[in-house]
Structures are given as structure tokens and as C-alpha cells.
A and B are shown apart, each in its own frame.
Chain A
Amino acid sequence: MPTDVPMDSEACTFTEFSDGDPSSEYPETGADATGIEAEVWKALYEVEDPEMPVSIVDLGLIYDVSVEGDRCVVEMTLTYTGCPARDILLNDVACAAETVAGISEATVTLRYSPEWNVAMVTDEGKDRLRDFGLSV
């Protein structure tokens, strides 16, 4: 093909990012939680993504909180698998959960299904992301 004629394609190739399917069960925000579990959700609400001033609960990263006695297990996900902030986040989440009166030990486990996508961000989270300059 001669190079001096326009190629039979768009001038610039691009990647189309899709929003993904909204999940009926997610995001989990702890709205129905009671007692100490509700307190843990409240504490997790204070944890922000290290790269954006948005609560990780609003980002939809927390999948489950369960409390048994003085122990707490938090199940969460990451926006993408290579997330370099993984260890920071896991540590922040565990520390936040352990600030709750009645919790002496918090374990954080990672889950990758359902797969996180932008549809899992809460409306509040989307507003914060827009304020930050992202188009969502």
C-alpha cells in the first residue's frame, strides 16, 4: 500500500472503554448493617483511594464486612489487578477497621469476582470523581 494516501481507517485508532454491566447486588455500602458491623462500615468510609480523594466505599471496592466476636473480616477488590497501591490499601483498611471499639483484629481478603467496574461506584462517588476531573 502506498504511504502517501490516507489509510482506509480512522486517522487515529483508539481504545473504547466500556462501563461494564451494573451489578444488582453491588456496590455494597453497609446501609443495612447494624451494631459493630455498621461501625466498621463507617470507619471504612473514611479510607480514601491513595490516588483520588474518594472513599473506597463509594468506589465500590468493599464487598463484605463480617464481625464475629472481636474479629472482623473485610472482603474487598481492586480496580485493576496490577494496582500498585494494593499493600497500602489493604493496610489502611485493616487499620481503619481496628479503630472500631470492640474490634481487636481485622483481616482483609481480596476478591476479584464480581469484576469491579465503574458501574459499581455510588452516585456520591461519581460526583466526587467528577469534581476531581474524571469523566464518569
Chain B
Amino acid sequence: MSGTPNSERIGRADLSAEQQVALEALLFRLADDEFVHAERLTEWQIYAPTLESDLAIANIAQDEFGHARLWYDLLKRLGYTEPECLWERDPTEWTHSLLVERPFGDGDWADAVLRGYLYDVAERIRLEAVADTSYAPLADRVGKVLEEENYHREHAVNWLERLTADDDGRGRVQDALDELFPYALSLFHPGPREEDIVEFGFRTEPVAEMRTQWLETVSPFLESLDLTVPEPDEVERPDERGRDGTHTDAWTELYDEFTATYHELEFETPATLRATEE
């Protein structure tokens, strides 16, 4: 499907109610993936195996938070507030993929590297599929993000090549691949508004097509590292879907953790310096 030329793109004021609902679904998927992925990556700070890798992963997390902010900003322009997007949003309304919410095993660097790779390839494919979007404010932001994502992929590929250079390392990456692969497939689970998203030209490729592209990219690369890629149609799939708001238990824990400070601050009852006088 071809994209929308610049001159024919639509702005916020042109959206019909139906279009807005579909657009919001697309934006929440984008934003939630980036936010939750970043949130998990920050767990590596001060624990990554070398100083360079520590700085690199912190930087990648910061980039992903930056991208999440770009997409949540577009939702704000459609009327949402930050608490509605993040801090007060019910955890069952989040539509990120299951891959990004998975907890890391203690010191499982192979997981962090492989997860980054699987996610970043999917991210590139998805961004390319919205580069010719019909929604002008979204189109403005895609090029910049794609440029930044290149560095993330390069980082993951470099590390995967190093980790799989001996049997021990390759075994760890293989374990991570077997563990993460079924969850990674949830990146391409169509959400409830999938058909409208494509029909209105917000994204120019259906997720099914993106899934094929992703498999055709990650499988040959991982196999070139002597890894065995599970058969996508044969792996045991989790009951949860991610994109429809169903999530694994790990998500509930993560959500409680990153919203805890917000609730502790008790914005409804501002702190006072002195006890209330009688």
C-alpha cells in the first residue's frame, strides 16, 4: 500500500471521531512499547557488565523514553493528560507487547542484548510503516526516531556477535532466544483497531506483513550466529496478548513499582511545612 504524499496529510482538526480512536490506539501501542522497554532497561544501570555497556544501555533507555515522550505528546494534543497516559492509567489499558515487560533474570545480559535486538528490528519495521502516515504530526517525528534507532540496532548486533563467539556465550543467547521468542511474537499481535489503522492510512502496512519482514530479518541473522530460531507456528504461545490489554504478572509488578512514587507524592493532599494548627 502506498503512503500519503506530504501535501495530502491530515492534521488534528481534520480527524473524524472514528479516525481519532484508531490513531490513539496506534499511538498508545508505540508509546507504551517504548516506555516499558525503557523502564526495564534502566534496571541494568550500574549492573551492566562493563562501564561502556552500562553507559550505552542507559543511553538507549534515555532515547526510548524520549521516543515514548514524542508519542505521548501527540496523545496529549488529542486531549490526554500525562497522568491519564501514564501514572493513573489502569494497567489493563496498556497495550505494549509482552516482550518488553518480561523481567530480567539476575545478571542475564544475553537477555538484555537479544531483547534489544528483537525489539529494535521490529521498531525499525514499524517506524518505516508509519513514515508515510496520513497523520502529519506523526510523520514529522518518524525520521528523527529512525535515525536514533540505527545506533541501538548496531549496539545489539555488535554484542550478539561477541556473545556468540564461544560455546558458553552462545548457549546463554540460545536460552534467552528460547525464552523470549514466544513473547516477541506478541509484537505483531493485531490490536482491536488494526483494520481502521491501515484503512485510514495511519500505518501503511498491516501487522501481518510486518511480522513476515521481521522474521525474514531476524531469523537469517540469528542463524548466521549458529543459533536455532524456534519455529514461529510451533512455539507455545502465552495466554496473554499484550496488545489487547492482557499482560503477564511481571507487568503488574513493574507497573506498581514505577507508579509508586507518583502515588506516594499524594498530589491531592499537598504537603505542608507545619502541622495544621488547631
B246 within 8 A of A: no
A residues 1-36 with Cβ under 8 Å of B? 1-3, 7, 9, 13, 15
Q: When the two chains form their complex, are residues A81 and B140 in contact, meaning their CB atoms are under 8 A apart?
A: no
Partner of A9, one of B65, B140, B148, B161: B161
The A contact surface, by secondary structure, is loop
A69 is an interface residue with CB less than 8 A from chain B: no
Cross-chain contact B70 with A112 (CB below 8 angstroms): yes
Interface size counted on chain B using CB atoms at 8 A: 24
Contact with A along B114-127 (1 / 0, CB 8 A): 00000000000000
Residue of A2, A7, A81, A116 with most chain B CB atoms under a 10 A cut-off: A81
B172 at the interface (CB under 8 A from A): no
* Inter-subunit contact B166/A112 (CB<8 Å): no
Counting CB contacts under 8 A, is A115 at the interface?
yes
Count A interface residues, CB 8 Å.
Answer: 18
Task: Point out the residues of chain B lying under 8 angstroms from A9, CB to CB.
Answer: 161
B151-159, B197-205, B250-258, B261-269 - interface stretch: B151-159
Closest CB in chain B relative to A105 CB, distance in Å:
20
Q: Is the CB of A13 within 8 A of B144?
A: no
Shortest distance from the beta carbon of B259 to any chain A beta carbon, whole Å:
21
A80 contacts across to B, CB distance below 8 A: 63, 66, 144, 148
Give the residues in chain A near B139, CB-CB below 8 Å.
113
Q: Which residue of B lies closest to A14 (CB)?
A: B158
* Contacting pair A115 B144 (CB below 8 A): yes
Chain B residues at the A interface, C-beta cutoff of 8 Å: 62-67, 69-70, 139-141, 143-145, 147-148, 151, 154-155, 158, 161-162, 165-166
- A residues with a Cβ closer than 8 A to B are 1-3, 7, 9, 13, 15, 80-84, 111-116
